[in-house]
Structures are given as C-alpha cells and as structure tokens.
Structure 1
Amino acid sequence: MSSTARPPVAAVRAAHGSRLVVASGQVATRDGELIAEGLVGDTVDLPTAGECARQCALNVIEAVRAELGGLDAVTAVLRLTVYVASAPGLREQHLVADAATDVMLERFGARGKHARAAIGVAGLPLGSPVEVDAMFLVSDAPGRRA
C-alpha cells in the first residue's frame, strides 16, 4: 500500500508557523485514484470507509512530511477532523474515524494521541467517502524548514 500523497485538490496541503502545522483536508486517494466513491452507508460499506480513513490519514502525514522535510520535528498530533460523506441515518461516523486515529497512534505512538471530531456530511470533494485534516505540534529543532 502506497502512502504517497496526491497533488492537492485545494491550494494548500500543509502550512505552518511557529510550532503549529495544519494539514489541509486529504481525501481517500492512493496512487492518484480514489479508493472508493460515494456515501458511507449507501454505496460504501464501513470496512471500505475505514480503509479510506486510513489512507486519508496517511496522506495527511505525507503532506506534513513534505512541508517539514521529515517527521522528526512532530512532537504531538493535536487534533483530527474526520469528515464522512454519510447516507441519511448513518450513525457510525466515529467507527470510520477510528481508522484514522489508529494510523496516528501507529505512526507516532504516544505523540499520536489527539482530540478528534467525526462529522457526517452530505458530500466531499471528488466524491471521496472520507476526508481528514489535522493539526500537529512541532519542535523548534534545527533543520526544520521555515
């Protein structure tokens, strides 16, 4: 599974100032293609939505890596927002978001513990079932790109 981030749909992938890095929302693309398309609870099942959330989180990490020139300066994952394109009546957005949380914990260990929101929405860019954005705290370590 490739974790290479696709070129951003929006103008900004990640931006930072001071010790805060904010990664723009990343959709569920792998190797330039959407993993799935549609609404969770309709055309996209929960396991596939979880796979999408994992890839979104990997894409967020890659955007931060590209912005900082590496991940060594990341001292904490502060917050994830997980948007789930939801069919009417879907109440399992938190289960989809768990997959993105797992990626942060796997990659950053204790530094990956974060606050999180899981939000059901009517639709997302490109028809992606999931989008994830995040905030990170970084050190003032030498070598960090300004």
Structure 2
Amino acid sequence: NGELLGQGVVGLDVELETARELARHAALNCLAAAVQAVGDLDRVRIVQMLVFVAGTPDFGEQSRVANAASELLIEVLGENGRHARTAIGVAGL
C-alpha cells in the first residue's frame, strides 16, 4: 500500500534479522515490478543485483543482509534467480 515496513540504520535502530526480512520484502517488490513490466514471472531472469545497506560505521555484515534477497530470488526463480551481486555499506540513503 505504499507504506514502508521499516527503515533505519542497521546496527543502530534496525537489527540484522529485521534488515534481512526487509531485504526479502524489497526483492519481492522488485519481482512484482518486473512481472508488471513483462507480464509473466517465467520471463524474468536476474543477472545482477546491487544492494546498498545503511549501517553504523562498525557494521560489517552487509553481505548477510543482501544474502536474504539473493536467497529469495533463487527460491522463487530457480536458476533464473542466480545472479552476480554487490553489497555496499553506506552511512545514509
């Protein structure tokens, strides 16, 4: 409904597991947009994903947050969901 399920900085006001759940939800939103664009989930293939994670300066588990989204894409799309991925930690988004 256009409402954010959560926001904040991982390691400050967002726990790692919550960040992982939000990453999965973001991936679902991306799949929904792709289906809207091409008409069918069978026509969707993920080639590359770039993930930005807002975290505290000492948070170093950006890849664990991104893994949640990557795992969901593989669960839903199978081999068409396997992709190259970069996870980048940022101070703010």
TM-score, normalised relative to structure 2: 0.93
- Give the superposition deviation at 1:110: 1.4
- Within the candidate set 64, 80, 85, 2:54 is matched to 85
How many pairs are equivalent?
A: 93
Instruction: Say which of 99, 111, 114 aligns to 2:80.
Output: 111
Larger Rg: 1
Structure 1: gaps (5+ residues): 1-30, 125-146
Kindly indicate whether residue 6 of structure 2 is the aligned counterpart of residue 36 of structure 1.
yes
Q: Out of 32, 38, 52, which is 2:22 matched to?
A: 52
- Superposition RMSD in Å: 1.0
Identity across matched positions, percent:
47
Q: Deviation at 1:77?
A: 1.3
Instruction: Provide, for residues 102-136 of structure 1, a one-character-per-residue CA deviation record: whole Å limited to 9, x for no partner.
Output: 11101111121110000111222xxxxxxxxxxxx
Distance 2:55 2:34 in 1: 27
Which has the larger share of strand? 1
Give 1 or 2: higher helix fraction: 2
2:70 — aligned with what?
Answer: 101
4+ runs of 1 displaced by more than 4 Å?
none
CA distance in 1, matches of 2:32, 2:11: 28
TM-score (norm 1): 0.61
Query: 1:59 offset after TM fit, Å?
Result: 0.6
Gap regions ≥5 residues in structure 2: none
